Amino acid sequence: MFAIVHMSDVVRIPPNRLTNSLKDAAIQILKEKYESMISPDVGYVIMITDADASSVGKLVAGDGATYHKVTFKALTFYPKLQEIVEGEVVEITDFGAFVRIGPTDALLHLSQITDDYLKSDVKQGVIVANQTARSLKIGSKLRARITAVSLGKGAGMGKIGITCRQPFLGAVEWIAEEIKKAKGGGEKEKQGGQTVAPKEKKGGDKK
């Protein structure tokens, strides 16, 4: 899930950065340090959105830079187990597909797509089901559930596994078909359970 996270740090601002405002200099340094980084605590750091740097800095002997305490806000993405996510297929492989969710790619293994037998055509960039003829291709939009998360540190991509083998998951057109089918079945059950009022007898009352 996406979140705005409040963090703190001490930034080193060299003399050549002091030509800008203290806040702008701090934000730029924080961007260079944190953006595109992965943290086990906050997940993927996408963007530094704001920062507040202390106007009082510290000097270190032999270093012309100043050190300032900063508090800042960061836009992050932290994948959670069992979370439902939406993404786009960006790569087809022999063993499945990679799906872009937020700032990273998750692995959708062939065994986690559907119960049907699947054939992966890497050259054509498509995965096709044998019986239903359902397909996934590069650019397909889908909904999935996160089943595995392993976040590294620093600039590593981490590993995320997802599944579509549950009701109302998979490509958006598959979900639309399932919803239509479910609504159709519900209407039939409703019609079958209707009670019919008894018909009135024709003719007047006997005297």
Residue 65 is part of a domain; what is its CATH number? 3.30.1490.120
Phi-psi region of 33 (alpha: psi -120 to 50; beta: other; left: phi over 0): alpha
- 110, amino acid identity: L
Are 68 and 96 found together in one domain? Answer: no
One digit per residue, the tens of pLDDT, for the chain of length 207 reads 899 999 999 999 999 988 778 999 999 999 999 999 998 899 999 999 999 999 999 999 989 899 999 999 999 999 999 999 999 999 999 999 999 999 999 999 999 999 999 999 999 999 999 999 999 999 999 999 999 999 876 556 679 999 999 999 999 999 999 999 888 865 555 555 554 455 555 555 554
Are 59 and 89 found together in one domain? Answer: no
Paired strand residues for 104: 101
Are 96 and 70 found together in one domain? Answer: no
- Based on the structure, what is the number of domains in the chain? 2
Domain range for 119 is 84-186
Q: Give the distance from CA 116 to its chain's centroid.
A: 25
Are 53 and 130 found together in one domain? Answer: no
Instruction: Check if the beta carbon of residue 106 is closer than 8 Å to that of residue 121.
Output: no
Are 38 and 92 found together in one domain? Answer: no
Beta strands in 164-206 (DSSP E): 170-171
SS3 state of residue 106: strand
Model-level pTM? 0.77
Are 56 and 100 found together in one domain? Answer: no
Which residue, among 76, 83, 82, has the nearest Cα to 41 in the 3D structure?
A: 76
Are 46 and 88 found together in one domain? Answer: no
Are 99 and 161 found together in one domain? Answer: yes
Look at residue 180 and tell me if it is in a domain: yes
Look at residue 26 and tell me if it is in a domain: yes
Give the Å distances, CA to CA, from 153 to 36, 102, 122, 150: 11, 18, 31, 10
Domain end residue (candidates: 25, 57, 77): 77
Look at residue 32 and tell me if it is in a domain: yes
Are 35 and 108 found together in one domain? Answer: no
Are 123 and 175 found together in one domain? Answer: yes
SS3 state of residue 68: strand
Look at residue 201 and tell me if it is in a domain: no
Give me 105's structure tokens.
Answer: 């790619």
The CATH number for 146's domain is 2.40.50.140
Are 94 and 30 found together in one domain? Answer: no
State which H helix or E strand residue 192 sits in: helix 172-192
Paired strand residues for 13: 66
Give me 87's structure tokens.
Answer: 């993404």
Are 90 and 152 found together in one domain? Answer: yes
